[in-house]
Amino acid sequence: MKIKIVDTTLRDGEQAAGVVFSQTEKLTIAEALDQAGVFAIEAGTPAMGVEEQSALQAIVDADLSARVIAWNRAVKQDILTSVKCGFSFIHISVPVSDLHLQYKLKTTREAVLQQMVDSIIYARSFGCSISVGAEDASRADEKFFLQVAEAAARTGAEYIRYADTVGRLEPLETYEVMQSLRKKCALPLEIHVHNDFGLATANTVAAIQAGVQMVSVTVGGIGERAGNATLEQVFAVLTDLHGHDTGIDRNMLPVLTKLVAKACHVEADHFCQR
Amino acid sequence: MKEEFMFIDQTLGYALETQSLDIAEFIAIKRKIATMSPVIFDLTLQSFLAVLRYAAVRAEDIRIGIQPTAKEVAAAHQLGCCNIKVSLDDNAIHEMPALTGEALRQAREWEMNVALHIIGNCEYPASKVRHICRIVKEYGITSIVFDDSKSELDSVATYWRLLDLQQEIPCGVEYYGSNGKGLATGNALGAIKSGVRHIAVAVGGVGGYPAFEEVLMSARYLLKFPLDIPGNMAECCGEILSYAGQTVNFTKPIIGAHIFAHESGIHVDGVNKRSDLYEPFTPETVGLSRKIIIGKHSGKAAIEFKIKEMNISLQPTAVSEVLEKVRGLAIRQKAPVSDRQLQSLAHEAAS
């Protein structure tokens, strides 16, 4: 089976507290990811400010083979900023758990659904390809997740990210949830998990076993708190244990690990000890 | 009985084999590990003998790993140890050497608890299972050790393999996993879900075993078993690991010093509203604390929160101005902005 790797080292990875990539580092890492053969590079959040926009524009201008994606809230101004940077692949993230809707955004399911639909239509008006991120999906009502996917599909989104935002999935549960969702979901699924219980690689692999074909990873597993699923580990399991094709050049992985470790001011073996 | 967890600790054995622990250190690390959860300690015969050269140690919570010879069984018995783990390879399962049979008979006579550690692979074809069943019955074996030290299985496969094996074999089954492919904790949970309650673990995942703290916390918070979590677990694991000559990586799940550090605007805003929006358990659960880092990914809420802590009041427009300067500074210095730096930026904006 062909598995698509969506690398988010430059977005969720850099969001690890204390990590700052320079403009040159971001471009070098993006080029190395492209050379390694990832399907997509989630490069950053243009709405963060002018410095980030300039770094992201350089990545877009590098004309890479991989898709280069901008991360956005479902906010028109954010999307416009991404379009102005030159992005044609737009990721729009909306929280989908009632916990997040009620306590973070203080909004309703209906309102967030409308906001997402409006944002997709807006981004599509610039001719962009859209993916949707369902934040905190692992704590959300499955029905609402499917409703979001349905609305996103209707409005022209290509795929939906199922985010285990606080890393509370375990592998057998992931397998069952993904097997059931895959059959009902109006869009292809991407699995995006966090490593709070040390389960990020296992959960990513379980999702693939359940038939999911897109995975979100970071080099060395860097990311918020205890990090994300690790590109190097996910690659090893998918290739060596399950015989899947990820399109990744194995020889490039140590290069990427070293590059990202250096940009994070840690030794490369810091990542191996996770 | 089946519901009761017994973790099989590998940390102490690892520390003994890699460090020169004195008897006081041996006792201290052992005691600390025992505060994590009910535990039995796997030690090799050689390691245990080395400890006993310095002082008498009670062996009731120790299990000695031996080769299948009557001589080693007798050595364990003389040390007062009634728990042994005997290593056998696939060949010995299919055709047991006479000396091995003699050793197992001797252990049975002394009413020892014998775990058979089956070395080789995770395949259990019908013929192998048949032989194991015969050995279990003939020698009164207490448990079989299912060993995936070569990381051949994923979590789903571990679950199914162990579910089958427990139905086929008339004794307990233990799970010995390995983190060769980053799946150790997930696989251990697969084992637990299949019904296995005896799991080999090591604090911090030393020696490549599933990390004790991850398996314990996952069993408690994800699988919802009523297990006690020591409130000082992070510190306790840190101390245990220092005896084993290791330090805790700052992003290590459950015990890393930095796992409750938040920087990005959305996350800081979230945890200030309600911590469970972006934390799967509170820092206090494991004895850590939350940190708000100011840097490139900060948002307005974080700046407001921090300058309020510093007793500085700013207009909303001034907050935006500070935020922009913070981001610029973080990028220029390629590091977070310190409290002092933030304070001076805030004072500038206030004046």
Cα A265 from chain centroid?
23
Q: What percent of chain A has pLDDT over 70?
A: 99
Nearest-CA distance A259 → chain B (Å): 15
Task: Determine, yes or no, domain membership for B256.
Answer: no
Identify which of B253, B291, B331 has the shortest CB distance to residue A51. B331
Co-location of B155 and B288 in the same domain: no
Which domain-ending residue is among B212, B243, B274?
B243
Look up residue A165 and give its two tokens. 């935002």
Closest CA to B162 of B130, B142, B190, B135: B190
> Which residue, among A195, A196, A230, would best test binding to B if mutated, counting the most B CBs under 10 Å from its CB?
A196
pLDDT (0 to 100) of residue B44:
96
Q: State yes or no: pLDDT of A181 exceeds 70.
A: yes
Residue of B nearest to A98 (CA): B277
Task: Determine, yes or no, domain membership for B38.
Answer: yes
Task: Determine, yes or no, domain membership for B142.
Answer: yes
Which domain-ending residue is among B211, B243, B275?
B243
Co-location of B320 and B180 in the same domain: no
pLDDT (0 to 100) of residue A273:
55
Co-location of B215 and B163 in the same domain: yes
Chain B positions touching A241 (Cβ under 8 A) are 152, 154, 181
Give the range of the structural domain holding residue B157, as residue numbers without chain letter. 6-243
- Tell me how far apart the alpha carbons of residues A77 and A83 are, in angstroms, rounded to a whole number: 10
Residues A170, B331: C-beta atoms closer than 8 Å:
no
Which domain-ending residue is among B243, B270, B287?
B243
Task: Determine, yes or no, domain membership for B252.
Answer: no
Residues A99, B276: C-beta atoms closer than 8 Å:
yes
pLDDT (0 to 100) of residue B3:
61
**Per-residue pLDDT tens for A45-60?**
999 999 999 999 999 9
Residues A103, B328: C-beta atoms closer than 8 Å:
no
Residues A196, B259: C-beta atoms closer than 8 Å:
yes
Q: Is pLDDT larger for residue B295 or for residue A270?
A: B295
Which CATH number covers residue B284? 1.10.238
Co-location of B276 and B227 in the same domain: no
Task: Determine, yes or no, domain membership for B325.
Answer: yes
**Per-residue pLDDT tens for B300-330?**
999 999 999 999 989 989 999 999 999 999 9
Nearest-CA distance B214 → chain A (Å): 6
Co-location of B123 and B205 in the same domain: yes
Task: Determine, yes or no, domain membership for B236.
Answer: yes
pLDDT (0 to 100) of residue B253:
98
pLDDT (0 to 100) of residue B275:
96
Residue of A nearest to B194 (CA): A172
Co-location of B231 and B288 in the same domain: no
Co-location of B43 and B104 in the same domain: yes
Nearest-CA distance A273 → chain B (Å): 7
Identify which of A52, A99, A175 has the shortest CB distance to residue B277. A99
Nearest-CA distance B276 → chain A (Å): 8
pLDDT (0 to 100) of residue B1:
37
Residues B249, A270: C-beta atoms closer than 8 Å:
yes
Q: State yes or no: pLDDT of A270 exceeds 80.
A: no
Residues B222, A168: C-beta atoms closer than 8 Å:
yes
Task: Determine, yes or no, domain membership for B238.
Answer: yes
Nearest-CA distance A63 → chain B (Å): 25
Residues B262, A224: C-beta atoms closer than 8 Å:
yes
Residues A225, B261: C-beta atoms closer than 8 Å:
yes
Tally of domains within chain B: 2
**Per-residue pLDDT tens for A40-96?**
999 999 999 999 999 999 999 999 999 999 999 999 999 999 999 999 999 999 999
Co-location of B311 and B342 in the same domain: yes
- Tell me how far apart the alpha carbons of residues B73 and B108 are, in angstroms, rounded to a whole number: 10
Fold exhibited by the domain A4-272:
TIM Barrel (3.20.20)
Residues A225, B260: C-beta atoms closer than 8 Å:
yes
Report domain extents, chain A: 4-272
Would you place residue A1 in the very low, low, confident or very high pLDDT band (cuts 50, 70, 90)?
confident
Co-location of B310 and B228 in the same domain: no
Cβ pairs A/B, distance under 8 A:
183
Instruction: Quote the ipTM score.
Output: 0.96
Co-location of B131 and B68 in the same domain: yes
Three-state SS string over chain A comes to CECEEEECHHHHHCCCCCCCCCHHHHHHHHHHHHHHCCCEEEEECHHHCHHHHHHHHHHHHCCCCCEEEEEEECCHHHHHHHHHHCCCEEEEEEECCHHHHHHHCCCCHHHHHHHHHHHHHHHHCCCCEEEEEEECHHHCCHHHHHHHHHHHHHHCCCEEEEEECCCCCCHHHHHHHHHHHHHHCCCCEEEEEECCCCCHHHHHHHHHHCCCCEEEEEHHHCCCCCCECEHHHHHHHHHHHCCCECCCCCCHHHHHHHHHHHHCCCCCHHHHCC
Profile chain B (351 residues) by mean pLDDT over runs of 10 residues. Answer: 81 95 93 96 95 86 96 95 94 92 97 95 94 97 96 97 97 97 98 98 98 98 96 98 95 97 93 96 97 94 92 91 94 94 92 79
Identify which of A20, A203, A226 has the shortest CB distance to residue B334. A20
Q: CB within 8 A of B320, min separation 6: which ones? A: B300
Task: Determine, yes or no, domain membership for B251.
Answer: no
Residues B262, A17: C-beta atoms closer than 8 Å:
yes
